[in-house]
Structure 1
């Protein structure tokens, strides 16, 4: 068993990611198991969201799949993740930290894709990403058949809302239209202790109020061993001229410390998270929390990166915020790990 990442000798059915609840358009997407929550999650390097547990179990327990993945315990621990190249339909399994690192560094994925094409040059080559299995076209084609039947079985399960896993919901269909964006100054960063993947933009949206979104995956670096300590993130708001709706989103628990300069009007603050979120530093401003731990309901995926050059659609969270507030998004700032942001 490779200690890093290994290509599986199976091909993913075209409906696999839809069945697991992933409806975005990024080429690469990974799934992992969260033991504390007993829930699978997906991440594509820009957003993180929950996947359907039943579909995940059906997929992993299929005879052809379970044979290759049994030792990785993908429904028990979070050490190993499953990675899908949606263009080639290649599946990989490997250390979670390695796969997360690849998703954060697109050039690494590009190298993996270029070297591991249909000819599988890794068959006779050692590489630091690990020794990959040999590619057998006939064997892979035969394995594709039962996996396809498994996907069809998933699609036919008669339970409430199951069909929504195979086709985008109406609000997700509306999220396909990209919005015009202008990048924010490249000198901005994720703050002290943050990651080096700051992305941001402002839009040309107009109206009598503004909607600003700050998104992170975490603000505390130590989440190993199913540990979920609360991190700290500071958001300073200096922008004036129109009432502001401030939206804050994080998968991991965060204490959002808000600093508002005189003359700034914040209409309300909306917090989206999987783990519990807190807002401090302000008073007299309505706060709406949507978190699995706090309110048992969150708004949408936890977007923390948005590359406007490659943007193929609006994240579901943004669509939900637009509908909830009746206001188009004005700006976005995000980092995988962020501790300081300024809205100006």
Structure 2
């Protein structure tokens, strides 16, 4: 796997592009004007592994909340701005490290000047964010719709507005709800420039369908070496976006965070409620950063052998279950409730042993 060589920029303390690890982002869905709710959600996202968070900033009331949110956030924040350059400038003055904005949509040249001057003064990054619903009407007429070529040209037009003002701390995103259009657009953009790329499939759908579309689209791009930051867009709790993003990176061998959980798909030999056991284990480890492998298997005959590399695993049968470490049985327990309780005890012991909670 060859990584595309993009220029390096910084979002606060974080490196983007230039060979830095692919960064995981998400976006709050709280009302930004509600400081308590927004800071609480940011904290939850960070626990899941989110490394930068985007906030909607629709009006002056939202801007007034930003300083307090910035003070409480342990990760860099990005203001999502549409049309009003004054909100962008105020967000940077409140301490936010980045903007998501389309310079061509915020009015005359002097408005773009103000935003660029503020970004330079505060050392902020600007993300040009183009999606299939924001392409300019002239491009839509010329290309017959929001095709990949139209997305790329729109993004580069916005970028040139910044370049003419001597601003290059820019990253770019091109998003479509079509996986194939998203892939084609990013492939074309990667050939056309060396700016860092923020990748994602927009409006991907709910947890299941959105995960599938995002895993396919982002997985292909990342395998091609395209992508410096990413967001998985789901109609679900934003914390799930972060979990899915990390699993995509783990599956490709790009980055890993926290436990790897393996479980079998069940079959006719399964005689326990494996779904419930797996869900309970996943919930327990959802915010853990321990680099361990855990197995939840449905068959006591093959489970320990199939999951021999697991640091800890369980396998259940009709009358009893077993708990094993590296393929060696360490406990035998009767009853599913007792099995889960015993497993949680062993899991806590393993985490403590390795210095994690």
TM class, shorter-chain normalised?
under 0.3
Using the size of structure 2 for normalisation, the TM-score is 0.26
Ranked by relative contact order (alpha carbons within 8 Å, sequence separation 6 or more), the top structure is 1
- Higher-Rg structure is 2
**Greater helix content:** 2
Using the size of structure 1 for normalisation, the TM-score is 0.26
**Greater strand content:** 1
